[in-house]
Amino acid sequence: MRWDRYILPLTLLLVWEGLSLIKVIPSHLLPSPGRILLGLKDLMVIGMPPGNLLPYHALYSLYRVAIGFAFAVLFGIPLGLLMGGSPRLRRIVNPVIELLRPIPPLAWIPIAILWFGIGMKSAAFIIFLGAFFPILLNTVSGVVSINPIYFEAARTLNAKPKHIFFKVLLPGAVPSIFVGMRIGVGIGWMTLVAAEFTGVKSGYGLGYMIMTARDIQRPDEILAGMLIIGLIGVLINSALRVCESRIVRWQ
């Protein structure tokens, strides 16, 4: 294992801790790494609000992201395959996609509350919007980038349309589909906090936890929550990479 990749992060943490100890960095604005770890311990043992422990916040947030991401995959991949395989459909649908794609998911929060109310549905909808477009566009790109000679070769061998789809089109698009899924789940996870700002009826969620910590002025627990969001995001991305490496064995 190469340890040199950890030198810079560890150095920055030590400098941060040192500047906090000599009061160069105000603790009420940016707590030291040590205080953040203590805040993390409080989240695990006491909870925020008290009694609502960190593991349950993480599980509820993962559930919301899983729902939104699942719908993004369910709609994004089939539509992307159809658009990639049909230039006519691509010309018809592209204007709508290009109009909606630049709108940030956070801008949809008011309409999400209007449509779905406060709770799981509105949060999952915001996460869905964050994940859908990267999955869709990368799927289209994966299909379009397949060398046309492969389709011609399949037709020359009298392959049926379903065989062309499963043997040529889908395998050729899979690498790009996984790229879109990784980008999509990353954006969906990033929009999690804002999605949970819309309100959670259950009283659980990492975004809800961070907002509650803000209300009682606990910056150490805010940053601890942000740390957990980052770590879980890394784990999700790593899990998708492992799945990709096992499915796309020829790369």
Torsion sign across C-alpha atoms 46, 49, 52, 55: negative
Note the pTM of the prediction, 2 decimals: 0.83
Mean pLDDT over residues 199-225, rounded? 83
Report domain extents, the chain: 1-29, 31-247
Chosen CATH of 31-247 out of 2.30.30.100, 3.40.50.720, 3.90.1150.10, 1.10.3720.10: 1.10.3720.10
Torsion sign across C-alpha atoms 57, 59, 62, 68: negative
pLDDT at 1: 52
pLDDT tens sequence across 25-81: 887 788 888 888 998 999 999 888 888 899 999 998 899 899 999 999 999 999 998
Give yes or no for a contact between 174 and 143, defined as CB atoms under 8 angstroms apart.
no
Per-residue confidence at 135, pLDDT binned at 50, 70, 90? very high
